Structure 1
Amino acid sequence: MFFPKYRPRRLRRDEIVRRMVRETRLSVNDFIYPLFVVPGSTVRQPVASMPGVFQLSIDELVEEATEVRDLGIPSILLFGIPEAKDEIGSGAYAQDGIVQQAVRELKEKVSDLLVVTDVCMCEYTSHGHCGVIKDGDVDNDATLDLLAQTALSHAEAGAE
Structure 2
Amino acid sequence: MIRETSVKTDDLIYPIFVIEGEGVKNEIPSMPNVFQWSLDLVDTEVEEAVALGIPSIIVFGVPADKDDVGSSAYHDHGIVQKAIRQIKEKHPDLTVIADTCLCQFTDHGHCGLIE
Query: TM-score normalised by the shorter chain: which range applies?
Result: over 0.9
**Residue 60 of structure 2 aligns with which residue?**
79
CA contact (8 A) 1:84 1:91 kept: yes
Partner SS for 2:33 = coil
More strand by share: 2
Q: CA RMSD in A?
A: 1.4
Q: What CA distance in whole angstroms lies between the structure 2 residues aligned with 1:120 and 1:103?
A: 16
Equivalent pairs counted in the alignment come to: 115
SS in 2 for 1:53: strand
Larger Rg: 1
Q: Note the residue ranges of structure 2 that are not aligned, 5 or more in a row.
A: none
Gaps of 5+ in 1: 1-7, 13-21, 135-160
SS in 2 for 1:73: coil
Which has the bigger relative contact order, CA under 8 A and spacing at least 6? 2
Q: Does the 8 A contact of 1:37 with 1:56 survive in 2? A: yes
What stretches of structure 1 move > 3 A for 4+ residues in a row?
none
Structure showing the higher helix proportion among its residues: 1
Task: Please give the TM-score of this superposition, normalised by the length of structure 1.
Answer: 0.68
User: In percent, how many aligned pairs have the same letter?
Assistant: 50
- State TM-score, norm by structure 2: 0.93
Q: CA contact under 8 A between 1:42 and 1:57: conserved in structure 2? A: yes
